[in-house]
């Protein structure tokens, strides 16, 4: 007599169970032998199988039978099986227990043979007023169903529970469609073992939630105001650093032309870096196709050369004793579309200078006559 698997149960021969298996019994010829299979807790008896010989069909699935008038040697194996099959995730956090007799079919209608627990890293946002406790899991194969509920058990970390929330307030639920509300599952919490178990009828995305802590000591984070101006990518050009050489503590002016190439109003951030370290940032809003000269002022007390960067444009200035130069240092001339704002600025400056001079000359001409008249008078 033998059993399978080891530890699944025992078999008594005429009321006696052997201490180990396989076990051998000697019986007298043409006597009656009573055989009884007794499963251990958590197991059930399946059937007997005779090796090399056949057993009467009527006793194949009976846990107890008698063989009368024994006339030959028999080798018999008693088979046991767990009351349920348990699938456990690799990290040990989740398990699915399928009781004996439950029909489990995958999405293609085939018997379920394995279960995959896939962590969802891009977790869906929980409903308002709830916090996620750990990452959600997607159970595969997708579309798996059961003809009656099976148990899903989740081990949680008590340290992940928000302050002010007790373990009894945890909820296990599906997370496949929070937009339709919070799915209601029948579940129970084992505080002693830090587990929460639910009865499910199909595979889906599952997670554990807790009520958000909105106590005065832990208020909800205020929502940030939304800017009415749509951010766009501005272009920067025409970097100017003046003067390029100064005494310690003297002011240096750093300017760059910022252009909005889009059709609508937008905003962008202008960042000044000195030797790779952010010195100042400024938010600038411009109408579509508009441009603006953005100016920063800095001063350095230590002698040396300082690298300047404004939104990717680079230049430098030097601090040393006795410096007096007021020559402006420009970055490399802009190319392509970026040169047109610069040309427009130059034209505007030239017009601002030439128009007043022209008006002044015209007035003097009106008062004194022509140049020829002036010469003839001399």
Same domain, 33 and 105: no
Classify residue 246: in a domain, yes or no: yes
**Residue 121 shares a structural domain with residue 162:** yes
- Candidates 296, 299, 319, 320; CA nearest to 309 is 296
Q: How many helices (DSSP H) and strands (DSSP E) are in the chain?
A: 2, 26
Determine, yes or no, domain membership for 282: yes
Residues 6 or more apart in contact with residue 304 via CB below 8 angstroms: 318, 319
- Provide the pLDDT confidence category of residue 69 given band limits of 50, 70 and 90: low
Same domain, 283 and 303: yes
Q: Which of 128, 126, 107, 129 has its CA nearest to residue 116? A: 107
CATH number at residue 117: 2.60.220.30
**What distances in angstroms separate CA 236 from CA 213, 245, 280, one per listed residue?**
46, 24, 16
154 and 254 belong to one structural domain = no
Does residue 228 carry a pLDDT above 80?
no
Residues 93 and 77 in one domain: no
Would you say 302 and 248 are in contact if contact means Cβ atoms under 8 Å apart? Answer: yes
Last residue in a domain, options 26, 51, 82: 82
Residues 75 and 112 in one domain: no
> How many of the other CB atoms lie within 10 Å of CB of 338?
17
Q: In this structure, is residue 152 part of a structural domain? A: yes
- pTM over cut 0.75: no
Number of independent structural domains in the chain = 3
> What are the residues whose beta carbons fall under 8 Å from the beta carbon of 40, sequence distance 6 or more?
7, 8, 9, 10, 80
- 266 and 321 both lie in a single domain: yes
In a domain, 356, yes or no: no
Residue range 167-221, pLDDT digits in tens: 888 888 888 766 666 767 788 999 888 999 999 999 988 888 887 754 445 444 3
| Residue 43 CA: distances (Å) to CA of 8, 40, 79, 99, 163 | 6, 6, 10, 11, 42
For 28, the domain range is 2-82
Mark whether 111 and 123 lie in a shared domain: yes
DSSP H helical segments within the chain, as ranges? 339-368, 371-377
Look up residue 228 and give its two tokens. 């009415």
* Domain match, 74 and 99 both: no
How do residues 73-96 score in pLDDT, each as one tens digit?
A: 778 888 888 888 888 988 888 999
């Amino acid at each position: 007599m033998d059993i399978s698997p080891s530890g699944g149960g025992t078999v008594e021969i005429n009321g006696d169970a052997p201490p180990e298996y396989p076990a051998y019994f000697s019986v007298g010829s043409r006597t009656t032998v009573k055989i009884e299979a007794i499963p251990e807790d958590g197991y059930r008896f399946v059937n007997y199988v005779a090796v090399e010989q056949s057993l009467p069909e009527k006793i194949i699935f009976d846990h107890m039978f008698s063989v009368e008038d024994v006339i030959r040697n028999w080798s018999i194996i008693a088979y046991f099986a767990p009351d349920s099959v348990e699938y456990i995730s690799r990290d040990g956090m989740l398990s699915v227990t399928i009781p004996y007799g439950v029909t489990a079919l995958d999405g293609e209608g085939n018997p379920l043979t394995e279960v995959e627990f896939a962590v969802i890293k891009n977790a869906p946002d929980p409903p308002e007023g709830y916090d996620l406790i750990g990452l959600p899991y997607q159970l595969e194969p997708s579309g798996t169903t059961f003809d009656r509920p099976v148990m899903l058990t989740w081990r949680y970390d008590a340290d992940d529970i928000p302050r002010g929330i007790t373990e009894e307030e945890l909820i296990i639920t599906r997370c496949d469609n929070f937009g339709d509300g919070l799915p209601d599952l029948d579940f129970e919490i084992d505080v002693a073992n830090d587990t929460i178990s639910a009865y499910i009828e199909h595979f889906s995305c599952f997670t554990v939630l807790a009520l958000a802590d909105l106590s005065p000591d832990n208020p909800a984070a205020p929502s940030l105001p939304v800017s009415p101006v749509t951010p766009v990518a501005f272009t920067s050009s025409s970097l100017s650093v003046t003067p390029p050489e100064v005494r310690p503590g003297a002011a240096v002016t750093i300017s760059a032309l910022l252009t909005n190439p889009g059709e609508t109003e937008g905003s962008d951030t202008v960042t000044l870096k000195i030797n790779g370290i952010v010195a100042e940032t400024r938010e600038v809003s411009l109408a579509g196709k508009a441009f603006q000269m953005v100016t920063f002022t800095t001063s350095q007390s230590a002698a040396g050369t300082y690298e300047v960067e404004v939104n990717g444009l680079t230049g430098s200035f030097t601090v040393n004793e006795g410096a007096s130069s007021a020559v402006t240092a420009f970055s490399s001339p802009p190319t392509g579309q970026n040169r047109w704002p610069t040309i427009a600025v130059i034209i505007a400056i030239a017009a601002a200078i030439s128009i007043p001079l022209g008006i002044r000359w015209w007035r003097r001409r009106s008062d004194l006559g022509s140049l020829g008249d002036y010469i003839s008078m001399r």
